[in-house]
Structures are given as structure tokens and as C-alpha cells.
Amino acid sequence: MGNAARRYQEDVHSPTEVANPEAYPPRVVKSYPDAPRHPLPWPPEKSGHRLGRLLADLGGITRSQWLTPLDMLPFTDSFEAIPDDDPLQWLVTRRPTPSGGARYSAEWYVIAGPDSEVPTGVHYYDPARHDLVRLRSGDYRSWVASRPAATVLVQTNVFWRLAAKYGEMYYRLACLEAGIQVAQALVVAGDANATARLCFPDADVTELLGLDPREEGVHSVVELVPPVPSAFGGPSLAAFPRAFGAHAAVLAQSRPGPEPLPAEPAGEAERIGLPHARPDLAAGTRTRHAAMRGFSGEVMSIDALATILTAYGQQARWDLPADLVEFYCVIADVAGIPAGAYRYLPGEHQLELVSEGDPRQRLRDAALAALTQQGARTANVWLLPVGDADAAEERFGDRWYRVQQAAAGAALHRACLAAASIDVASRIQNDVLTHLLDAWFGLTGRKRTLLMAHFGTEHPAGQRPEFRLTW
Ligand SMILES: Cc1cc2nc3c(=O)[nH]c(=O)nc-3n(C[C@H](O)[C@H](O)[C@H](O)COP(=O)(O)O)c2cc1C
């Protein structure tokens, strides 16, 4: 097995120098000048076109914000890095999903069959025009589908959009964002019975989309199998459990779920039970945004914590094991929970103590930018998924790094959606030297902390003028 991903994980903790940033065009939307287009109804939420709405909720340009150079100061730490040659530079468009540096490098393609709501073929979703660009006109689903899907969505990442800002770190962000995109797709797909795959024949799918695999990676596939008209329901078979058990065993064998990774024996550490919570992730997609000014430092309720953690540890409907990452978190000023580092156990819905004591200084030491350091002082909960490279490599071969990062990104995005649904603010941060926290968490071997998001009551000066462009 190659060790390129091993070296990458151990060496690249922060952005690397980009010698010629001017060589990268500022475009964040593709264009296919000569290809035929298929319009989607606008505004998406007012039409009955479910696929159009799904695409807008996934990759659409749905928000605009007006920012000033002062808003950018906590990210850049000086006015030096702020260009002033374009008077409109502070009008920014945003999308439903977060994106590293707002580079919006994720793209969506649509592989439609005859039962899809759009013409059969292979299309690019153009978020600027909210329409589909037709790239091929045949039924190509057999190259991408593992289920009888009417439509398959394929998510890619245009690497150079990230590389222009982050250098070598582009690949880490591309992999994290695949998880975020998939998590969002599974939430906004509603009743389309969606499942996702991160393990598929990459080379074939890349060829199908006509992409150069060195420039744009194909990262995930989402299959939509909408329901057929319902038949008259028969009586319950609950009275005959043995017969049903025999039948269900065959069904399970015909479509096995992902096997968990080998489990370590349960530890002796102290545990805290959490109240039951039912996060509404779909509601969260309406208001989720990255907190711009940090948090107010107010105490968080244990119910809010339980809602965030339930979404964090939820199993996605995809081909990766639920325990591909472990759900570490750090807590301060949550009513009823002593400050410290914990591991959240989703099956038990309990917190296991990892390290006691106020975590703020440790988090601050690991944070690079002013905004992140402020978050270390003022947030209440920091989620830090942890992955075991050995176990992942054993299962996924060279794909281990990619799927582990995706699992981390998805877990944090689910938590951000749950938080938004209960008015708790959040921000995903990659500018944290997470490896500095590994020893504190007691991680051994090739277990590593992968990414961080913080959560709390939004700072009163945090809300920026924002216009919803679709809803
Ligand atoms: C993988 C990832 C890494 C991010 N890292 C940082 C970061 O290091 N610092 C930061 O201030 N924001 C970070 N963000 C937040 C983005 O800047 C934010 O999502 C983007 O500006 C879009 O704004 P929105 O989330 O409000 O839609 C990150 C987001 C993602 C998805």
C-alpha cells in the first residue's frame, strides 16, 4: 500500500505557500459555453420540482451578505491582506453549505434516467443560473448506481479553487467538504430515499463526466429512489416474529450494511448520561451560517448539548461504518456537565470523561487566527472527531484518508445543522493545530484529531446583513 496519504496527514497541518496566486482565476462557477441548457423553475421552493429544490438546497447560490473590511479583520489579522481595488468586493454570495475560505469548490452533476424529473442524460448543475447543462444525452446510470435509482447525483471538487488559497492543504479540505456535501444531500433529499457512496469506481465516473482527474476529483455519489404510488396496506405480521425473522435475515444478506471497524474494549472512565433529543436537521438548513464574531459566553443548556451531540454521532445512510471516526468533544459552561474533554458514545448517548479541567487555554494555544482564539474563549462546546488511520487503512486501503476526512466533515456539518435548528451558532475551523490536542485526548498509535467546530450563543454583534435569495 502506498504511503502518500500517511505522509500527507503527518506533514500538512496548515496552509502551505502558494507561489503564484494570480495564476488561479477568481471564478467559483464553471461555464460550458456551447452546451445545451435545461432550465429549472425559479424560485425553487415555490415550484413542485423536487430535484430543482434539492439542487438549490445543496449547491445553489441562496444567500448574499454585505461585509466590510472590518468584518474580515478577525480572519486576516491585518488590513494588509485585504485588497482594496474593487469597490464591490464585500458583497459576497453564499450557499447552504459551509465551505473552506468560501471557495465553493464542490460541484454537483446529475445523472438522470427516464423516470427523473429532468431529461435523461448527464448534466452539470450550474448554481449561477439554477439550470442544468447537458453533457451527454443517454442513460448512463449503470456507471454510477448501486440501487435502482431514478437519478444519481455526483459530487466533485475543483481542486484549484482551494489550492489557490491553501496550497497543499487543498486535498484535506476537498475530502472534508465531500462529507459536508453528502450530509447536506441526505438531509435535503427529503422523501427521495437517498443513500450515498464514497467508495465507487472513481476513474469510470470521472470519465463519464468528462473531467481531468488531476484537476477535479469525484468524491461522492448520492442515489435517489423516489417512492412508487402506495398500494393498499395488508394486516400486520407482528404476531409471527419467527417467520419474519427468517425472511428479514435474507433481506439483510442481500444488502449488507457497512461492517463496524474492530472495537476496543470499553474503558473504565466515568460516564454521564444525556437527555433524549431529536434534532431537526432539515430545519437547521434554513438558518445555518458560520458565526462571524464568535460567541457571547452564555451558559448552554444540557438539552442543547444533547441535541448537538445526537446529530454529531448519527449514522449516515452511506457505505461507511458508523465508527469510522470517534466523537470527541470539549465542554465548558454547559449546565450540569463539568468542564473537560469527553468522548461521546452515540450508541449509549453518554459522555465518557477523557480529561478534566477548563479546556480554554489549550484550545487557544492550538488556534491560529484571532477569530478562532476568540471562539476558544467564548464558545461552550468544541467538537473534534478523531480517526484511527491504521484501522481505516486496513479497511479502505489508499482511500482511507479520503473517507475518514469525509466522515469527520459530515459529523460536524450534522452537528451545525442541529445547532442552527435550536438557535445555537457554530463555525467549522480548520485553522486549529489539532495534532497539539492529541496527547491531551490520550490518543495513541495513528489516532489523530481531524477537525474542529465550535458552538455557543452567537455574539450579539455577530449577525451580518444577509439576504435570502430563494426563500
Ligand atoms: C472544511 C472547512 C474549514 C473551515 N475553516 C475555517 C477556518 O479555518 N477559519 C474560519 O474562520 N472559517 C472556516 N470555515 C468556515 C467558512 O469560512 C464558512 O463556511 C464560509 O465562509 C461560508 O460561510 P457560511 O458557513 O456562513 O455559509 C471553514 C469551513 C469549512 C467547511
Give the pLDDT confidence of 433-451 residue by residue, as tens digits.
998 999 999 999 999 999 9
Grid cell digits, residue 307: 441535541
Q: Is the CB of 94 under 6 A from ligand 1?
A: yes
- Report the distance separating Cα 62 and Cα 93, nearest Å: 8
DSSP 8-state class, residue 433: -
Q: Is the CB of 180 under 6 A from ligand 1?
A: yes
For 323-332, the pLDDT digits (tens) are: 999 999 999 9
Q: Is the CB of 96 under 6 A from ligand 1?
A: no
Pocket test for ligand 1, best of 62, 64, 66, 99 (most atoms within 8 A of CB): 99
Q: Which atom of ligand 1 is nearest to the CA of 97?
A: 27
Q: What pLDDT is stored for residue 29 in this prediction?
A: 86
Residue-wise DSSP of 13-68: SS----S-GGGS----S---TTS-EEE--SSGGGSS-HHHHHHHHHH---EEEE--
For 146-184, the pLDDT digits (tens) are: 999 999 999 999 999 999 999 999 999 999 999 999 999
460 pLDDT higher than 90: no
Pocket test for ligand 1, best of 93, 157, 429, 467 (most atoms within 8 A of CB): 429
> What is the three-class DSSP state of 319?
coil
Residues 6+ away with beta carbon under 8 Å from 239: none
Let me know how long the chain is: 471
Gap from CA of 430 to ligand 1 centroid (Å):
8
Gap from CA of 327 to ligand 1 centroid (Å):
20
Q: Cell 439550470 identifies what position?
A: 131
Q: Whose CA is nearest to atom 3 of ligand 1?
A: 100
Write down the mean pLDDT value for the chain.
Answer: 93
Grid cell digits, residue 92: 459576497
> Which of the four pLDDT bands, split at 50, 70 and 90, describes residue 336?
very high
β-pair partners for 96: none
Pocket test for ligand 1, best of 64, 219, 374, 430 (most atoms within 8 A of CB): 430
Residue 428 near residue 451 (C-beta atoms within 8 A): yes
86 pLDDT higher than 70: no
Q: Which atom of ligand 1 is nearest to the CA of 432?
A: 8
DSSP 8-state class, residue 370: H
> What is the three-class DSSP state of 396?
helix
Backbone angles phi, psi at 385, to 5 degrees: -65, 145
For 21-38, the pLDDT digits (tens) are: 888 887 778 989 999 999
> Which of the four pLDDT bands, split at 50, 70 and 90, describes residue 349?
very high
Helix and strand numbers, DSSP H then E, in the chain: 13, 18
Structural domains of the chain in order of their starting residue, each with its CATH number: 10-60+95-224 (3.40.109.10), 271-466 (3.40.109.10)
Q: Is the CB of 434 under 6 A from ligand 1?
A: no
Gap from CA of 97 to ligand 1 centroid (Å):
9
Q: Is the CB of 60 under 6 A from ligand 1?
A: no
Q: Which atom of ligand 1 is nearest to the CA of 74?
A: 11
For residues 34 and 224, the model is more confident at 224
